[in-house]
Amino acid sequence: MNQLIPLAMVSSGEMVQVVDVRAGFGLQRRLADMGLTPGVTIRVLNSQMSGPIVINLRGSRLVLGHGVAQKILVKKV
Amino acid sequence: MAKKIIIALAGNPNSGKTTVFNNLTGARQHVGNWPGVTVEKKEGTCSYKGYNIKVVDLPGVYSLTAYSPDEVVARNFIVEEKPDAVVDIVDAANLERNLYLAVQLLEMGAQLIVALNMMDEANSRNYRINVEGLSRLIGAPVVPMVAKRNQGTMELLERIVEVAENKVRVKELVINYGREAEEEIAKLERLISQDGEFSRKYSSRWLAVKLLEGDEEVIKKFKEVKVG
């Protein structure tokens, strides 16, 4: 099934679609400023059990803290 | 007497603002291949066709909220100093993300010129950008460039002079935020336009939108105003 999972749990190499950003207005806005909006498809380039994760977002690489990645809910595509 | 023009260089981090700055002013500011090289604004001058152009290099930002000090520095300069033209250095290879800032600058009513930098990089990725179409769509001049090889600098200077001399006017972009938000924006706009000081200095629609966003810097401005 197409369950929602936090971006932090997605393995390297996988493509996912952002569904929701469960964060305060400030962080939501900040992420949207960089193009991370609901509906956008991203590829996880590097993700470990802890530490920052690297994604490819709209043609550029973006590094997110683990805590931030926990707040981004995605589904697999 | 040489005519004076003030321009600002804006753009996302790592889009080549400082390289363009160096091309324009002949300065040798340090250019680093990482974002965030410019933390405060730098100034230089350049002479072109009898004009004395003051160039201000702003910190690289993704957005013009009041989120970080760099954004506030960049935004305040554009809003308060009202440069004759704002050159937004856009990474042509990352157009979608970069144009977000361009839209925000247009919403502020800036006299925008889009410098489409790193055209070589875009070409090598097989991107074909319709420069004229883009210019028509956003209503502002667009100049393709490869700043690291100093390509496009002359055309950029031409556009800067045209915009500064009012031969080209860039219209404030009005985005429809939907009925509910628009009703509130209209109410606030009416109130703001009753204040001579505010409406002379700023776009009242822009202030209204920022108030609704809960923008701390803009709210602070309103708190400073003495009523009555």
Of the candidates A20, A34, A21, A70, the one whose C-alpha atom is nearest the C-alpha of residue A50 is A70
Q: Which of B84, B77, B100 lies closest to B12 in space, CA to CA?
A: B100
Mean pLDDT value of segment A40-63: 92
Cβ–Cβ below 8 Å for B97 and A29: no
The least confident of A25-39, B11-25, B58-72, B178-192 is B58-72
B90-100 per-position pLDDT tens digit: 999 989 889 99
**A39 in contact with chain B, both atoms CB, cutoff 8 A:** no
Q: From B215, which residue of chain A is nearest by alpha-carbon distance?
A: A26
**Do residue B67 and residue A59 have CB atoms under 8 angstroms apart?**
no
DSSP labels, B185-202: HHHHHHHHHTSHHHHHHS
Mean pLDDT of A41-59: 92
Alpha-carbon distance values, B123 to B60, B128, B182 (Å) = 24, 7, 40
Which has more confidence, B88 or B62? B88
**Best residue in B71, B94, B97 for a mutation probing chain A (most A CBs within 10 Å):** B97
Q: Read off the tokens for B13.
A: 């981090």
Report whether pLDDT(B41) > 80.
Answer: no
* Token duo for residue A35: 């193009």
Continuous segment of H or E residues that includes residue B132: helix B131-138
| pLDDT for the residue A11 | 95
In chain B the domains, ranked by start, together with CATH numbers, are: 3-164 (3.40.50.300), 179-224 (no CATH)
User: pLDDT averaged over chain A?
Assistant: 92
Domains of chain A, residue spans: 5-76
- Taking residues A60-74, report their average pLDDT: 94
Is the pLDDT at B227 greater than 80, yes or no?
no
Q: Which residues of B touch A33 (CB under 8 A)?
A: 62-63, 65, 67, 100
Q: How far is CA B137 from CA A68, B99, B130, B221, in A?
A: 35, 12, 10, 33
Angstrom distance (rounded) from CA A20 to CA B18:
36
**Closest among B54, B80, B40, B78 to B88, alpha carbons compared:** B78
Q: What percent of chain B has pLDDT over 90?
A: 65
Q: How far apart are CA B72 and CA B39, in angstroms?
A: 11
CB contact under 8 A, A26 and B100: no
Q: Do B65 and A59 touch (CB under 8 A)?
A: no
Is pLDDT of B31 > 80?
no
Minimum mean pLDDT range among A36-45, B4-13, B196-205: B196-205
pTM, two decimals, is 0.86
Amino acid at B26: G
pLDDT of the residue at B122: 94
Ranges of beta strands (E only) in chain B are: 3-11, 42-48, 51-57, 85-91, 112-117, 142-144
What class, spelled out in words, does domain A5-76 have in CATH?
mainly beta
Residue A30 corresponds to which tokens in the numbers above? 């900040």
- Considering only alpha carbons, which residue of chain B is nearest residue A34? B62
Mean pLDDT of chain B: 90
Q: Which tokens in the block code for residue A63? A: 């590094």
Tell me which residue of B103, B113, B91, B90 sits closest to B5, measured CA to CA: B113
Determine the pLDDT at residue A1. 54
Pairing relationship of beta strands A60-64 and B3-11 according to DSSP bridges: unpaired
Chain B: closest CA distance from residue A76 (Å): 23
d(CA B60, CA B36): 6
pLDDT single digits (tens) B5-20: 999 999 998 899 989 9
Instruction: Kindly tell me if the per-residue pLDDT of B228 is higher than 80.
Output: no
Name the closest residue on chain A to residue B68, using Cα atoms. Answer: A30
Asked if the model's pLDDT at residue B71 lies above 80, the reply is: yes
Question: How far apart (Å, rounded) are the C-alpha atoms in residues B160 and B53?
Answer: 9
The pLDDT, as a whole number, for residue B1 is: 65
A34 closest CB neighbour out of B97, B213, B214: B97
Q: What is the distance between the alpha carbons of residues B147 and B165, in angstroms, rounded to a whole number?
A: 24
- pLDDT by residue (tens digit) across B131-180? 999 999 999 999 999 999 999 999 999 999 999 999 989 999 999 999 99
Quick one: average pLDDT of B41-68?
A: 89
What confidence score (pLDDT) does residue B14 get?
87
